[in-house]
A and B are shown apart, each in its own frame.
Chain A
């Protein structure tokens, strides 16, 4: 029996076990939205397409499934771009579906036409423009396969409106066979043997865990490996949660916004074992320079990451989980007692002294207090800026996936919609979005999505009436010549929250933290807590 392309697209999503999608309709995607009415797939209408992409990302990060977002052609599609690029930077599996003008009009600059496959090509794992309705089932099957295997990432499918209304005999392929795409999962035994030998002869080894450890579901085996051989662990921003933050072997986050112990460990190690991390410039401090005196082992599913930013002594391509399993069995011994002792001294220097303040809330204290009150299954989602780093260094992430942030691209406006996706993916979890006043305003209308879907998302705004991170750069590197970082006429966030029907309050000193957090977390409804932060409060 023949069905339309739009019906076929919906059917293909069902066959991929998609249950929730995020999107925003428009003329060029209307046949798909019409077909969606006959499906059990739940659609979340965001307030901007960018919100849909970030929500799909947050949903993916808590469920492990491929997130799906949908937009119309032209501006709808371009609004997805930041979300797609964010997912690409953080290796999040995502399928983005866009409507396109009809095939005969492509290339004529007609109403709401944009070359979205061309535009997204640099930051998509792959993309498709469907030119024949018969190709649609194969393309959807391939898209989900590519997005979720190897190094995960976003894949875009651009579907012209006449392809959506055209008909096909729908046959969904069982398997995918793409000549040039065969990810390698099993690490080379010879390389693993070399690592085992290097670890055995090392005096001061360190594991650097990146987001790849979490996406490969390798957190448990990595922690077991670290415990068995007593190897300290540092994490990147994306690796937070890969090992419990309060684990005695966890030295904390490294890099320019990291903590002393982590940087001390990396600086003094003789064997750095990087797992699932691209070693970005914020982690390195200086491009291309990390642990210069040490041997460097790099384990990554993406061969192109190895040797890209740092030269590697022993490279291994493959799945972090499988490789760490093999390593767990291969390493004979490792004596690190002296090394751990010296690191314990460094850990003491991690402790920051909190400023005595009477007219502000200290964000570091606030986030530490929040941690104490959250259960292990809680999820913290951050915006980008000082709020992100305060959360990274002070929230006690105990489980992989409990700390969600835009690490690679640093996308302001990510937190609120990603938090929406996380809450929809894991409704039983307490989801707390931490934002600054600047980044929160980039996605603030998504409060409407929270209201419409009755989502109990908690929003914590750290308000210093500044673009705090940029201000700090201007303070330290531009001789306090502050330029365009003042948001003194911020709206009354409490009133805005009330307009959306949220409970809301504002606090402005540390003594209010305890009782405010009690009320903030007391029930399952949405709640906005605005905290007045000293503009002079430093990030680290």
Chain B
């Protein structure tokens, strides 16, 4: 099954997330990830939804989401024409003998150490899902204690943008 990224502008109101999530469950669609945050307009939030499924599924997800009154706009983002990122915090076991090796790996991935304790390091990484997974694989040998991931956020490249008002693209 292919993964598709939907960029969805919604009214910034309570209950909207529940409506969106509820729609996915009751219609049997699979959400791979869902990330929500407010936009440059405080009345509008943007959800980036990664959907697992074929073309029919993506079309139905978009159409059914569009029926929700709180949904303002939906756009399916093409991989080639958009930039997507995921943020993860990984807490990994670190001893005096493994600490420097971990730091080296983190540097190779252009990640950051954001917290240090006697027995652990916490690594911050942002990038594609593949990159986050690759770092996770490398750190697993030391013993990962906890991972927190945001889910994908994505934006279109260049002059294109999605906006709640009437003018939406340049």
Interface residue ranges, A against B (CB under 8 Å)? 117-118, 121-122, 125-126, 129, 146, 178-181, 302-304, 306-308
Kindly provide the distance from the CB of A103 to the nearest chain B CB, expressed in whole angstroms: 13
Contact A122/B26 with A180-B72, A304-B60, A304-B67 known, Cβ cut-off 8 Å:
yes
B69 touches A307 (CB 8 A): no
Kindly provide the distance from the CB of A219 to the nearest chain B CB, expressed in whole angstroms: 25
B68 CB-CB contact with A under 8 Å: yes
Residues of B contacting A118 with CB < 8 Å? 18
Residues of B contacting A125 with CB < 8 Å? 69
CA separation between A359 and B123, bound complex, in Å?
85
Interface residue ranges, B against A (CB under 8 Å)? 10-11, 15, 18-19, 22-23, 26, 56, 59-60, 63-64, 66-73, 164
B15: contacting residue among A117, A181, A302, A306, CB under 8 A: A117
Residues of A contacting B64 with CB < 8 Å? 304
Residues of B contacting A181 with CB < 8 Å? 69
A180 touches B60 (CB 8 A): no
Residues of B contacting A129 with CB < 8 Å? 15
Secondary structure at chain B's binding surface: helix, strand, loop or mixed? Answer: helix
CA separation between A225 and B11, bound complex, in Å?
42
B68: contacting residue among A117, A179, A180, CB under 8 A: A180
B70 touches A303 (CB 8 A): no
A179: contacting residue among B11, B19, B22, B56, CB under 8 A: B11
CA separation between A71 and B23, bound complex, in Å?
26
Closest residue of chain B to A128 (Cβ to Cβ) is B15
A122 touches B69 (CB 8 A): no
Give me 23 A-to-B residue pairs in the complex whose CB atoms sit less than 8 angstroms apart, sorted by A's number: A118-B18, A121-B15, A121-B19, A121-B22, A122-B22, A122-B23, A122-B26, A125-B69, A126-B68, A146-B69, A178-B69, A179-B11, A179-B72, A179-B164, A180-B68, A180-B69, A180-B70, A303-B66, A304-B63, A304-B66, A307-B59, A307-B60, A307-B63
Contact A180/B63 with A121-B18, A121-B19, A122-B26 known, Cβ cut-off 8 Å:
no
CA separation between A129 and B13, bound complex, in Å?
11
A303: contacting residue among B10, B18, B63, B164, CB under 8 A: B63
Kindly provide the distance from the CB of A155 to the nearest chain B CB, expressed in whole angstroms: 9
Instruction: Please name 8 further chain A to chain B contacts, defined as beta carbons within 8 Å, in addition to the given A178-B69, A179-B164, A304-B63, sorted by A numbering.
Output: A125-B69, A126-B69, A179-B11, A179-B72, A180-B71, A302-B67, A306-B63, A308-B60
